Amino acid sequence: MTLPIVWFVVVAFFWTGFFVLEGFDFGVGALHTVVGRTDIERRVAINTIGPVWDGNEVWLVVAGAAMFAAFPDWYASWFSALYLALWLLLAALIIRGVSFEFRGKRDTDRWRSTWSATLTVGSVVAPLLFGVGLGDLLTGLPIDADGNYAGTFVDLLTPYGLWVGLTLLALCLWHGATFLGIRCTGVVLQRAVRLQLRLSIVASVLVLGFAVWTYLLARPGAAGVIVLAVPLLAALIGAALARSTSGTGREFAATAVAIGGTVAALFANLYPNVLVSTTDPANTLTVASASSSPYSLQVMTIVAAMFVPFVLAYQAWTYYMFRARVIGPRESPVVARIRSGGPAGDPMP
């Protein structure tokens, strides 16, 4: 295995890790006003990701840095093509981060509801745009012989890219609901559990469409088919668990494999290309043609081997330290009794 191939795998690993970890952050941010109907309930949902969301975004920075250093031509062509979309993406990420910090600065309903709205919008727009950009790598963009983008903003909104964006958005919502199922208690937990089954059905259908469409687009060999089967099987298992269990780590593991497998399958079926050109196949960027010099890759490999284990260890320690559930308010006995189909009666025995 050559160093360019190794670094293609490393880049795919960072993107996969980003969606596995930041995916539930996006989901919780998008769902916090659905599972939380009062300010306290919404704070419970947000506090489940409070200690980890900014650390999870480091994976995005590392993925972009790895692309820039290992595949400068890929980085330049893809990011230039997505220039306007990246502005929207950065705005979504910035307003999302600001919402976390500013929401609790003033104790008024209007102030907090405004920042809750911006948090929801940012958490929905970001995974959708990420998915569109990643899908465009495989379906192709109008790239000329100099590696420049020759299309318009509308050309970025390819049908396959939009489908990948919707798939990743649905998986993030489901992933976030299952994360709430293992990280909180009370009424927030109950509402998250009720959402899991509905989200699992939508996400599973979209993953099935993604697998079929990717197969028809890439025509992979046996290995590519196996990789495509991973997220589909994980989604189906997760949907079955959502029907039979509630708030368990098994369903969270299934959604993690489903969302991570989707991103990994896209990169696996993209190889040996890194950016397909729709203007001329000769303009398609490949792992070999877009990589840095061998010396640069050697230095990067040594640095990565030294520091990546520390990053992984630190994140593992962070999750261990903040493993306790966030205690939330319970559903009132009267509401619980009515929801279960019994008479309201007197809440006290």
pLDDT of 220 strictly over 80 = no
244-266 average pLDDT score: 87
pLDDT at 228: 87
- pLDDT of 246 reads 61
Q: Would you place residue 324 in the very low, low, confident or very high pLDDT band (cuts 50, 70, 90)?
A: confident
Q: Which pTM does this prediction carry?
A: 0.91
Q: What is the pLDDT of residues 127-139, one digit of tens each?
A: 999 999 999 999 9
pLDDT band (50, 70, 90) for residue 345: very low
The answer to whether the beta carbons of residues 224 and 218 sit under 8 Å apart is yes
Q: What is the pLDDT at residue 227?
A: 86
Q: For position 247, what pLDDT does the model report? A: 62
pLDDT above 50 for 344: no
Q: Which residue has the tokens 């727009």?
A: 125
So what's the pLDDT on residue 249? 83
How confident is the prediction for the chain on average, in pLDDT? 88
For residue 132, the model assigns a pLDDT of 96
Q: What is the mean pLDDT of residues 85-110?
A: 91
Structural domain includes residue 49? yes
Please report the pLDDT score of residue 340 as a whole number.
44
User: Would residue 348 count as lying in a domain?
Assistant: no
pLDDT of residue 208: 94
Query: Tokens 């093509």 appear where?
Result: 81
Instruction: Give me the pLDDT at residue 105, please.
Output: 87
pLDDT at residue 331 tops 70: no
Cα gap 237→248, rounded to integer Å:
13
Domain count of the fold of the chain: 1
Quick one: what percent of the chain has pLDDT higher than 70? 93
Question: What residue numbers bound the domain in which 193 lies?
Answer: 3-339
Q: Is the pLDDT of residue 31 over 90?
A: yes
The three state secondary structure string of the chain is: CCHHHHHHHHHHHHHHHHHHHHHHHHHHHHHHHHHCCCHHHHHHHHHHHCCCHHHHCHHHHHHHHHHHHHCHHHHHHHHHHCHHHHHHHHHHHHHHHHHHHHCCCCCCHHHHHHHHHHHHHHHHHHHHHHHHHHHHHHHCECECCCCCECCCHHHHCCHHHHHHHHHHHHHHHHHHHHHHHHHECHHHHHHHHHHHHHHHHHHHHHHHHHHHHHHHHHCCCHHHHHHHHHHHHHHHHHHHHHHHCCCCHHHHHHHHHHHHHHHHHHHHHHCCEEECECCCHHHCEEHHHHCCCHHHHHHHHHHHHHHHHHHHHHHHHHHHHCCCCECCCCCCHHHHHHHCCCCCCCCCC
Q: Which residue has the tokens 């109008």?
A: 142
pLDDT bucket at 245, cuts 50 / 70 / 90:
low
**328 pLDDT higher than 90:** no
**Segment 279-319, tens digit of pLDDT:** 999 999 999 999 999 999 999 999 999 988 988 898 889 88
Q: How many other C-beta atoms can be found within 10 angstroms of the C-beta atom of residue 224?
A: 18
Instruction: Tell me what the mean pLDDT of segment 199-216 comes to.
Output: 94
* Cis, bond preceding 4 (omega within 30 deg of 0): no
Percent of the chain with pLDDT over 90: 63
Residue 347 within any structural domain of the chain: no
Measured distance between the N- and C-terminal CA atoms of the chain, rounded to whole angstroms: 70
Mean pLDDT along residues 155-182 = 95
CB 164, CB 137: distance < 8 Å: no
